Amino acid sequence: MYNYRMVTDDLYWVGADEHRLALFENIHPLYHGVSYNAYVLLDEKTVLFDTADWAVGRQFIANVKAVLNGRPLDYLVINHVEPDHAASIEEILLRWPKVKIITTPKAVTLLNQFGFGLDPNQIEEVKEGDTKSFGKHTVAFVYAPMVHWPEAMVTFDTTNGVLFSADAFGSFRSLDGKLFADEFDFDREWIDDARRYYTNIVGKYGPQVVALLNKAASVVGLDNIKYLCPLHGPVWRKDLGYIIDKYTHWATYEPEEKGVMIVYASMYGNTEAAAEVLAAKLTARGVTNTRLYDVSSTHVSYLISDLFKYSHLVLASVTYNLGIFPPMHNFLMDMKALNLQKRTVAIMGSGSWAPRSGALMKEEIESLKNMTVLDEEMTVTSSLKADNESEIDALADAIAASIKGESK
């Protein structure tokens, strides 16, 4: 049974939801599923924009068939070849062998590498800025290299202002019968998933996202974009400024909010207790926008996501094998991999005989770009004691002053 929805005149969403996948990209946990979006344009020619993961192949094909309603499929535009979108290409080729594939030269190379064995005669390679008319609708192709793969492009329908944005503006979470962002309370239900998707998957490529946003503004004109049709998550047709603003923050590594994220690594609860004390002391100083996370029990994708949101970070870690506690180390490595920048960081090391974690964490943080490490560092030997109160007070003072923008 088909299950498609109309996006706007001539354009239909033919994607599908996936609820059974536990780990997106086999790394990021999913609790509310994910959608694989694809779109069919019915013009003088019929056009399919991207395909879907093989896991939802049957539903996807059923939807395409239903929308085409017996018409042949003339074109397949491939904006992004990652297998969660391209896996069903083969099925499309089997069913509509005459379909012409429109994509970038690099995408062709990758598709061949993935083993799709495309016939060169059915490929139309496009260059940056090329346009193509399907009848009423004329689309322009804009390269989006390294957002977050090198072959990616976005396609803009100049007739109705639809931007097929590939993985840009995508999100975790399944659509569950709805389609548009304005059909949800996005800022309450979705933003965290959208942020976690962007920061963990595209986070490293801020400069390229900025380049794409600039290109969109200059080539297309942001006002001319009426619909954002990403490959995951809801379609945007209202309040596009909201999500573009979020993207601007994330891509430039600017925090969304003043707030403190405390991440601790604790083996027996002593470092945890110190982190709790610090959080309480921050509250006492009027800093209440705080989040406290146990690095061992929180998947790093959530930590990264919040880190892109908040301005301040406290790292509290026990020393383990004369190094940083491994899950904390993993978090630091992920920050580095994802190019995190522009945060103010306070360091609390701990250990019982050779506490080195503080110095090592500081070293890692300082190897990132544009980071500020507060001078007030402290080391907890085994457990926090009354002796240390002045130190933790100084630390809390420094964080509070920094949050409030006072230079101490």
Q: How far is the CB of 303 from another protein (least distance, A)?
A: 21
Which structure tokens are listed for 396?
């809390």
186, 239 in Cβ contact below 8 A? no
Contacts with another protein: how many residues (CB under 8 A)?
17
Using CA atoms, how far apart are residues 320 and 349, in angstroms rounded to an integer?
11
Using CA atoms, how far apart are residues 16 and 57, in angstroms rounded to an integer?
8
Using CA atoms, how far apart are residues 366 and 364, in angstroms rounded to an integer?
5
Q: How far is the CB of 150 from another protein (least distance, A)?
A: 5
Report, in angstroms and rounded to the nearest whole number, the Rg of the chain calculated over CA atoms.
24
Binding piece for another protein, criterion CB under 8 A, among 62-70, 129-137, 204-212, 280-288: 204-212
Closest CA to 193 of 309, 56, 20: 309
Residue 136 or 204 with smaller CB distance to another protein: 204
Q: How far is the CB of 277 from another protein (least distance, A)?
A: 18
Query: Residues 6 or more apart from 146 whose CB is under 8 A from it?
Result: 152, 205, 208
Residue 252 or 296 with smaller CB distance to another protein: 252
Residue 157 or 376 with smaller CB distance to another protein: 376
Q: How far is the CB of 330 from another protein (least distance, A)?
A: 20
| Per-residue interface string for the shown chain with another protein, residues 208-237, x marking contact by CB under 8 A | x--x--------------------------
342, 255 in Cβ contact below 8 A? yes
Residue 15 or 355 with smaller CB distance to another protein: 355
Residue 146 binds another protein (CB under 8 A): yes
Residue 97 binds another protein (CB under 8 A): no
Q: How far is the CB of 403 from another protein (least distance, A)?
A: 19
Residue 148 or 309 with smaller CB distance to another protein: 148
Residue 150 or 161 with smaller CB distance to another protein: 150
User: Which helix (H) or strand (E) segment is 316 a member of?
Assistant: strand 310-320
CA contacts within 13 A on the Cβ side of 313: 29
Closest CA to 60 of 83, 87, 98: 87
By CB under 8 A, the residues from 382 to 401 that bind another protein are 387, 390-391, 394
Parallel, antiparallel or unpaired: strands 75-77 and 28-29: unpaired
Residue 128 binds another protein (CB under 8 A): no
**Footprint on this chain of another protein (rule: CB under 8 A):** 145-146, 148, 150, 204-205, 207-208, 211, 369-370, 375-376, 387, 390-391, 394
